[in-house]
Copies of this chain bind each other. A is one copy, B any other.
């Protein structure tokens, strides 16, 4: 791709960011009306000036049953860049309707990382068909990328990069860059390699631009660089990019050879996904995408609800133990859900903070004990406050100070237990190399529900407020 084609953009004004950022409902409806009326010309005229990311959004915002006619009307406009921007589920459905050779054309024009993102989600047979239709170079690159584990640096990286030998001067680099017509897409730094293709340094383009031609590249480059092993998990990669504010980073294989480059624009999606998915995982909503097929959504969520049903049954069987006590004093049945509910909330607060701190490497073995002490202190303060409010209230409403005392004590106990469970459960999952966001919630809820009922009803009996 030459500079001329890259810059042959005709639109003279920039879009207003508001319009760029969110397609208005009116705009979407107008396009769908045109699609329905069969006015392909008018549809293409409206869609053509859009940014690929906006075309992808347009398809996502279109109801599933109208996507096929829309895609047909704007065929050719849905290129690799649009597909790369598209929601996985929507893309998969669209890809199913394309022929392998059409897909191969699309994949061939993309960087390896984007091509891999599209191909990796396809079914085995379709994958093979597309790979067969690619030219041998592209196929080899994509097959190699697919040989790395899912969600690893090897899948994320693009193989297109600029690597130059250490003995070159800045002038050599400039001449090389000006001479090569076939250089891939935009790049932000060049890598300096030794004869065995091991990276020895990195050079931001701004440094090259500011340096006279005769200076050796070895004098401009920075030797200290962050190397990403090809099998590193993408979440780890994202944390490194974030921590060291990287724009791009070299990827090396087991023998330390430079095999690819990861750029921050690919990482931004992962940072957002990884950070955002914790809220979904904690709620038991799985991947929680609004474009996911209903069947997948149902399976993901119902499994969680069934798990929750079992924890509720445990809490319920604790209540059953105290059936006699409840018969004697119905107020116990009225008040007991409060103890469980507020305790559950306190546990969720702590858990959310701990899961986030673990995900961002803020909570490590160095400060776990400090964290536990901190949460105990917060729990005592919170528990004390709620206990006073609830104890006084219950004592007054039911005209029974002993009942107030029992519920106050139960409240403190449950919030304290909630705080401990909120730290210990996710930390334990993390130590066992399990994602703490996935299963912590079930366990913490089980603890706070059961303990809420047990502490309240148990204290009521133990204090002699009611008989067993």
At the interface, yes or no: A73 with Cβ under 8 Å from chain B?
Answer: no
Provide the residues of chain B in CB contact with A17, threshold 8 Å: 226-229, 232, 236, 240
Contacts of A205 in B (CB 8 A): 188, 205-206, 209
Categorize the interface residue count of chain A: 35 or more
Segment 315-372 of A: residues with Cβ below 8 Å from B: 315-317, 319-320, 323, 326-327, 330, 333-338, 340-342, 345-346, 348-353, 355-357, 359-367, 370-371
Please, which residue of chain B has its CB at the minimum distance from the CB of A208?
B209
From the candidates B3, B246, B297, name the one contacting A207 in the complex (CB within 8 A). B3
Cα A80 to Cα B280 in complex, Å, equals: 36
Q: Are B337 and A449 in contact (CB under 8 A)?
A: yes
Residues of B close to A288: CB separation below 8 A: 349, 352-353, 356
- By a CB distance below 8 angstroms, the chain B residues around A242 are 268-269, 272
Verify if A305 is at the interface (C-beta below 8 Å from B).
yes
Q: Give 10 A-B pairs besides A297-B378, A301-B382, A341-B445 with Cβ atoms closer than 8 angstroms.
A: A186-B207, A245-B268, A283-B353, A309-B338, A312-B337, A312-B338, A313-B338, A316-B334, A316-B337, A337-B453
A7 within 8 A of partner (CB)? yes
The distance from the CB of A101 to the nearest CB of chain B, in whole angstroms, is: 28
Q: Which secondary structure dominates chain A's binding surface?
A: helix
If the complex has contacts A290-B363, A316-B334, A320-B334, are A11 and B224 also in contact, measured as CB distance less than 8 A?
Answer: yes
* Complex: A268 Cα to B340 Cα, angstroms: 39
Stoichiometry, as copies per complex, reads: 2
A324 → B minimal CB distance (Å) = 8
- Kindly report which residue of chain B lies nearest to residue A248, judged by CB atoms: B247
A225 to B20, CA, bound (A): 11
Residues on B with C-beta less than 8 A from A224 are: 9, 11, 14-15
Whether, in the assembled complex, A92 has its beta carbon less than 8 Å from a beta carbon of chain B, the answer is no
Asked if A6 and B207 make an inter-chain contact with CB atoms under 8 angstroms apart, the answer reads yes
Closest to A11 in B: B224
